[in-house]
Amino acid sequence: MFNIIEKLSNVFSLGQAADPTRVSDKLKESILSNLDDGEELIHIIRNSRAFYNAKAPRDKNTYYNSRCILTNRRFLIIRNLDYFKLFREIQLPKITDHKIEKSKSEVIITLISETGEDVIEFSKNMVSFAEEFSGILSQTLKVAMDKYSINKEGKIEKKCDNCGKFIAQETKFCSDCGHKFY
Ligand SMILES: [Zn+2]
């Protein structure tokens, strides 16, 4: 009896393997260990293809077989493996605009920054998941734009809740008003 249930549940999980947001515990653990201090994992989704249409021709790239990771500060494109292998990192405050194009057969998300644009494609069987992801992305971007900024060294800085000054991510006290971060 146990065997039958086990077999059935295997069939069931095979059926769900098409869910592009599913990740193994091993991959999730690997992703979490690659996030910065205080960085929160928001969403993970497998995509069909991603292009970086960089203004500088030598930086142009295409990533096949990849996954997108959205955190509260970054958009990461990793290789579709069971461990974290980074293809491309986009800091959310660097995104100046974004577009979401939907049709019956695909969803395309375009992230525009000063250095070029990232085009992320989702195929037909991922449309509903990609739509959900694009909604989460829009909200996350909105929050990140207000909360974070990029300094001259290209690092992400956080906004002081009290006085609005942007300070280094690891800072515990605001250098302007002395506000304490927890
Ligand atoms: Zn302050």
Q: Structural domains in the chain? A: 2-146 (2.30.29.30), 151-182 (no CATH)
At 170 the pLDDT is 86
Q: State the Cα–Cα distance between residues 22 and 9, nearest whole angstrom.
A: 16
At 104 the pLDDT is 83
| Close Cβ partners of 177 (under 8 Å, ≥ 6 residues apart) | 160, 162, 163, 165
The pLDDT tens digits for 73-130 are 999 999 999 999 999 999 999 999 999 998 888 999 999 999 999 999 998 888 899 9
The pLDDT tens digits for 122-179 are 988 888 999 999 999 999 999 999 999 999 999 999 999 999 999 998 889 999 999 9
- CA–centroid distance, residue 147 to ligand 1 (Å): 13
Sheet strands (E) in 12-83: 41-46, 49-54, 61-64, 66-71, 74-79
pLDDT at residue 3 is higher than 70? no
Describe the strand order of the beta sheet including 66-71 as a list of residue ranges.
Answer: 41-46, 66-71, 74-79, 86-91
pTM for this predicted structure: 0.85
Instruction: Please identify every residue whose CB atom is under 5 Å from ligand 1, which is an ion.
Output: 160, 162-163, 165, 174, 176-177, 179
10 vs 148 pLDDT, higher one:
148
- CA–centroid distance, residue 137 to ligand 1 (Å): 28
Torsion of CA 53, 138, 132, 110, to 10 degrees: -10
> Which amino acid belongs to residue 102?
K
First to last CA, the chain: 52
At 140 the pLDDT is 97
> Which amino acid belongs to residue 53?
N
- CA–centroid distance, residue 171 to ligand 1 (Å): 11
At 11 the pLDDT is 47
Tokens of 156: 């992400």
